[in-house]
């Protein structure tokens, strides 16, 4: 992770003609894009468009059938172990252990990412303060409201200071106010130089991203800042942009 | 290593916080041993005996009187025809028929040798073993009396015949059987559920994305259940030795070795199930249907394998519990040495290798 070459490189995620086939079905069809350090990159698309598959390839969970990609400077086809060390991940299924206490969850994931105990302890104290969670520290995660859990899950996913964090529909099922608070945490992370790669269904969230890509049937149909996209598609909102593109989709759900 | 320890600790938290499950897991062996133990231990008292003699001689009357005088038996009928034996059993008049051979006393006097046949209703095998044993003892004591009275040695040869369950399987079987069942239940079922739970909760994805090595995930999943199995093994051993008075006749070390091997097989099975099932319910059903029922029915725990039709015998040979139970019986009950269970150990080792191989491969596949 301390490799100078990658550190100077500002391209944290690079995808070149990335493809994933399941039999004859091209779930992801030659997608190419680059994400810069500290950027918030929105990855949009209807259900079945191939978002999750693309993200899984970038995380090293799934080997590409074609094309190339690097994350944090490591090849996602051959250096998956190094990729895994450099990234954080939060899935749409809320992903902490309900029957562990707040601090135990943090300690566990710190341990999994090879952090030392004193460092974990120190950072846990700081995190509890930032999140205003000091009273919840010894509570079981299962007893917390969903919004709390999501904030905690996000904080845990960037606890080991990864270069990139992948968020797979992180804010499903919470109200707009909680979502807004969640996004404040995301901004705070990018200010520390963490790159955020986020998939979402909510178009208000798309507006918060620096750049947005929209996938339709396995291909990237549009990629630009929300403002430029609105201009390009002559639309009032991202929702409108999305509707125009998604209407072209031939695949239905999946 | 820190990864592994953090993860093992987490697994212990999972288990220890689920109070109901841990109570069930710890109490189950105790309850089963006590249930099986006391349900199968029958006090032999006033067992009804029918006697078949064709000649009313002195020797047979003496034996009949001795039987009747003991607390164990109650002579309820005298029959004179072999055909009546069936009737006696069918009408449940007696549990034991003592058959004196024709001209019993005469043969004893002239040749010094005579036969008595003990025919027992072995529907309840445990009771049948006990009362035929007592009956044989009573006959022996009469023989000793005769020997002290006379100069010539007399020999009465009791011949025991068990009806309905000739192999007498099931008598001491329950301790090895319960061991075999509990260990497979805890190792295979609980391990598979614990792994599948991660899949179901979505936390498995997080683990796969993390630098956590899959082998660490597996190791930390099986460690707590290994510990739990050892606790249960100890509980069952203590109960069987001190409460049921079933002694460990053979080497305790061999018993521990073969148990570790069996636990290993069971853990590998659990791992394999976890790669097949995607929900906890499915894991539970697969291990319930696929393990518990075969263990109960086909391992020889309840029904003797020798009595099964050949196809079922073949099926039973792929059930790990069958080999484990047989090994435990050899060591614990019969007191045989390690060399006598080489076959069982070999089969279990082979099973462990194959299962670990398959499940490791399958576990990898899921990572792609």
pLDDT at B150: 64
pLDDT at A32: 94
Pairing assessment for the beta strands B73-79 and B47-52 based on DSSP bridges? parallel
**Residue A167's closest chain B neighbor by CA?**
B206
The tokens for A170 are 């992180």
For residues B219 and B363, the model is more confident at: B219
Query: Is residue B175 domain-shared with residue B146, that is, in the same domain?
Result: no
> Which of B18, B208, B211 is opposite residue A61, by nearest beta carbon?
B208
Query: Is residue B208 domain-shared with residue B325, that is, in the same domain?
Result: yes
pLDDT at B166: 45
pLDDT at B254: 92
pLDDT at B300: 77
pLDDT tens figures, B341-356: 899 999 999 999 999 8
Q: What is the pLDDT along chain A (254 residues), one digit of tens a residue?
A: 444 344 446 889 999 999 999 888 989 999 999 999 999 999 998 888 888 899 989 998 888 999 999 999 999 988 888 999 999 999 877 678 999 999 999 999 999 998 999 999 999 999 999 888 889 999 999 999 988 899 999 999 999 999 999 998 888 888 888 888 999 999 999 999 999 999 988 888 888 999 999 998 899 999 999 999 999 999 888 888 888 888 877 765 54
**Residue B14's closest chain A neighbor by CA?**
A99
Query: Is residue B85 domain-shared with residue B185, that is, in the same domain?
Result: no
Query: Is residue B309 domain-shared with residue B182, that is, in the same domain?
Result: yes
**Total tally of structural domains belonging to chain B:** 2
Q: What ipTM is given for this predicted complex?
A: 0.83
Query: Is residue B178 domain-shared with residue B317, that is, in the same domain?
Result: yes
- Chain A closest CA to B278's CA: distance in Å? 15
d(CA B299, CA B287): 15
pLDDT tens figures, B129-175: 778 888 888 888 888 887 777 666 666 677 676 665 444 444 466 78
For residues A73 and B110, the model is more confident at: A73
Query: Is residue B89 domain-shared with residue B7, that is, in the same domain?
Result: no
Interface touch A91/B206, C-beta < 8 Å: yes
Chain centre to alpha carbon of residue B6: 39
Domain housing B263 = 2-39+170-367
Query: Is residue B68 domain-shared with residue B159, that is, in the same domain?
Result: yes
Which of B163, B187, B203 is the last residue before a domain boundary? B163
pLDDT at B154: 66
pLDDT tens figures, B76-91: 888 888 888 888 888 8
Interface touch A98/B201, C-beta < 8 Å: yes
Interface touch B211/A99, C-beta < 8 Å: no
What average pLDDT does range B56-65 have in this prediction?
83
Is B38's Cβ below 8 Å from some Cβ in A?
A: no
What average pLDDT does range B311-335 have in this prediction?
87
pLDDT at B168: 45
pLDDT at B337: 82
pLDDT at B165: 45
pLDDT at A198: 94
What average pLDDT does range B307-322 have in this prediction?
87
Query: Is residue B204 domain-shared with residue B305, that is, in the same domain?
Result: yes
How many angstroms separate the first and last alpha carbons of chain A?
Answer: 37
Query: Is residue B261 domain-shared with residue B178, that is, in the same domain?
Result: yes
Counting Cβ atoms within 10 Å, is residue A61 exposed (0-12), middle (13-18) or buried (19+)? buried
Query: Is residue B59 domain-shared with residue B202, that is, in the same domain?
Result: no
Query: Is residue B178 domain-shared with residue B321, that is, in the same domain?
Result: yes
Q: How confident is the model at residue B31 (pLDDT cuts 50, 70, 90)?
A: confident
pLDDT at B164: 52
pLDDT at A5: 41
CATH number, position B79: 3.40.1710.10
Give DSSP secondary structure letters for chain A.
Answer: ---HHHHH--EEEEEEEEEEEETTEEEEEEEEEEEETT-EEEEEE-TTSSHHHHHHHHTTSS--SEEEEEETTEETTT-HHHHHHHEEEE-SS--S-TTSBHHHHHHHHHHHTT--HHHHHHHHHHHHHHHT-TTTTTSBGGGS-HHHHHHHHHHHHTTT--SEEEEESTTTT--HHHHHHHHHHHHHHHHTT-EEEEE-S-HHHHHHSSEEEEEETTEEEEEE-HHHHHHHTT-SSHHHHHHHHHTT--S---
Q: Residue for token digits 């045989």?
A: B336
Interface touch B3/A112, C-beta < 8 Å: yes
Q: Residue for token digits 């797979």?
A: A168
B residues 187-226 closer than 8 Å to A (CB):
201-203, 205-212
Name every chain A residue with its beta carbon within 8 A of the beta carbon of B202.
91-95
Name every chain B residue with its beta carbon within 8 A of the beta carbon of A108.
6-7, 9-10
Which of B119, B144, B163 is the last residue before a domain boundary? B163
Interface touch A104/B10, C-beta < 8 Å: yes
Q: Count Cβ atoms below 10 Å from residue B113 Cβ, excluding itself.
A: 12
Pairing assessment for the beta strands A87-90 and A164-168 based on DSSP bridges? parallel
pLDDT tens figures, B232-287: 999 989 988 888 777 788 889 999 999 999 999 999 999 899 888 888 899 888 88
A residues 5-64 closer than 8 Å to B (CB):
59-63
pLDDT tens figures, B170-199: 446 678 888 888 888 888 888 899 889 888
Is A99's Cβ below 8 Å from some Cβ in B?
A: yes
pLDDT at B312: 87
Average pLDDT over chain B, rounded to an integer: 83
Interface touch B2/A114, C-beta < 8 Å: yes
Do B161 and B119 contact (CB within 8 A), yes or no?
yes
For residues B360 and B230, the model is more confident at: B230
Q: Which helix (H) or strand (E) holds B99?
A: strand B96-100
Do B128 and B122 contact (CB within 8 A), yes or no?
yes
Which of B106, B140, B163 is the last residue before a domain boundary? B163
Do B227 and B309 contact (CB within 8 A), yes or no?
no
What average pLDDT does range B15-44 have in this prediction?
79
Q: Which helix (H) or strand (E) holds B217?
A: helix B214-238
pLDDT at A1: 43
Could you give all domains of chain A from N- to C-terminal order, each with its CATH number?
A: 39-52+80-246 (3.40.50.300)
Backbone φ, ψ for residue B165 (5° rounding): -155, 65
For residues B214 and B238, the model is more confident at: B238
pTM as predicted:
0.73
Query: Is residue B152 domain-shared with residue B97, that is, in the same domain?
Result: yes
Is B368's Cβ below 8 Å from some Cβ in A?
A: yes
Percent residues over pLDDT 70 in chain B: 89
Question: Measuring CA to CA, how many Å separate B268 from each of A105, B55, B196, B204, B351?
Answer: 28, 65, 14, 19, 9
> Which of B6, B202, B210 is opposite residue A93, by nearest beta carbon?
B202
């Amino acid at each position: 992770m301390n490799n100078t070459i990658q550190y100077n490189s500002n391209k944290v995620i690079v995808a070149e003609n990335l493809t994933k086939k399941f039999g004859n079905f091209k779930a992801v069809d030659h997608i190419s894009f680059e994400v810069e350090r500290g950027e918030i990159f929105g990855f949009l698309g209807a259900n079945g468009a191939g978002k999750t598959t693309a993200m899984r390839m970038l995380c090293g969970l799934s080997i590409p059938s074609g094309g190339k990609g690097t994350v944090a400077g490591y090849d996602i086809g051959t250096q998956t172990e190094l990729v895994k060390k450099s990234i954080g991940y939060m899935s749409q299924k809320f992903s902490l252990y309900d029957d562990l206490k707040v601090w135990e969850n943090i300690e566990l994931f710190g341990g999994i990412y090879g952090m030392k105990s004193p460092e974990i302890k120190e950072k846990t104290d700081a995190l509890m303060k930032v999140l205003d969670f000091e009273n919840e520290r010894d509570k079981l995660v299962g007893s917390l409201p969903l919004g709390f859990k999501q904030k905690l899950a996000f904080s845990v996913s960037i606890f080991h200071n990864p270069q990139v964090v992948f968020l797979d529909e992180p804010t499903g099922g919470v109200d707009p106010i909680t979502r807004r608070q969640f996004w404040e945490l995301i901004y705070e992370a990018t200010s520390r130089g963490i790159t955020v790669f986020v998939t979402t269904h909510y178009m208000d969230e798309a507006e918060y991203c620096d750049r947005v890509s929209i996938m339709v049937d396995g291909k990237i149909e549009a990629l630009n800042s929300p403002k430029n996209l609105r201009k390009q598609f002559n639309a009032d909102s991202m929702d409108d942009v999305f509707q125009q593109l998604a209407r072209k989709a031939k695949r239905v759900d999946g | 290593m820190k990864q592994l320890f953090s993860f093992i600790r987490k697994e212990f938290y999972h288990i220890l916080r689920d109070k109901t499950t841990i109570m069930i897991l710890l109490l189950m062996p105790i309850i089963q041993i006590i249930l099986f133990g006391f349900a199968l231990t029958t006090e032999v008292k006033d067992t009804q005996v029918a006697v078949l003699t064709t000649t009313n001689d002195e020797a047979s009357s003496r034996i009949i009187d001795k039987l009747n005088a003991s607390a164990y038996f109650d002579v309820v009928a005298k029959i004179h025809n072999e055909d009546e034996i069936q009737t006696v059993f069918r009408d449940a008049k007696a549990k034991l028929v003592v058959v004196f051979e024709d001209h019993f006393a005469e043969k004893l006097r002239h040749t010094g040798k005579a036969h008595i046949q003990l025919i027992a209703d072995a529907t309840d095998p445990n009771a049948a073993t006990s009362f035929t044993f007592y009956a044989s003892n009573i006959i022996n004591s009469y023989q000793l009396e005769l020997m002290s009275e006379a100069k010539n040695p007399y020999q009465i040869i009791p011949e025991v015949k068990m009806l309905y369950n000739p192999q007498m399987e099931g008598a001491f079987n329950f301790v090895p059987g319960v061991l075999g069942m509990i260990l497979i239940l805890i190792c295979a079922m609980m391990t598979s559920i614990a792994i599948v739970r991660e899949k179901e909760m979505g936390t498995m994805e997080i683990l796969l994305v993390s630098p956590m090595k899959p082998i660490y995930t597996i190791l930390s999943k099986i460690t707590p259940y290994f510990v739990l199995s050892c606790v249960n093994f100890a509980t069952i051993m203590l109960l069987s030795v001190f409460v049921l008075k079933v002694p460990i006749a053979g080497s305790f070390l061999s018993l521990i070795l073969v148990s570790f091997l069996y636990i290993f097989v069971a853990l590998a099975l659990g791992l394999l199930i976890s790669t097949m099932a995607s929900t906890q319910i499915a894991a539970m059903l697969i291990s319930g249907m696929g393990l518990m029922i075969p263990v109960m029915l086909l391992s020889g725990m309840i029904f003797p394998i020798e009595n099964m039709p050949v196809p079922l015998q073949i099926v039973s040979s792929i059930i790990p519990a069958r080999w484990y139970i047989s090994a435990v019986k050899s060591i614990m009950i019969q007191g045989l040495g390690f060399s006598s269970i080489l076959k069982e150990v070999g089969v279990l080792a082979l099973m462990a290798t194959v299962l670990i191989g398959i499940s490791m491969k399958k576990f990898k596949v899921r990572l792609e």
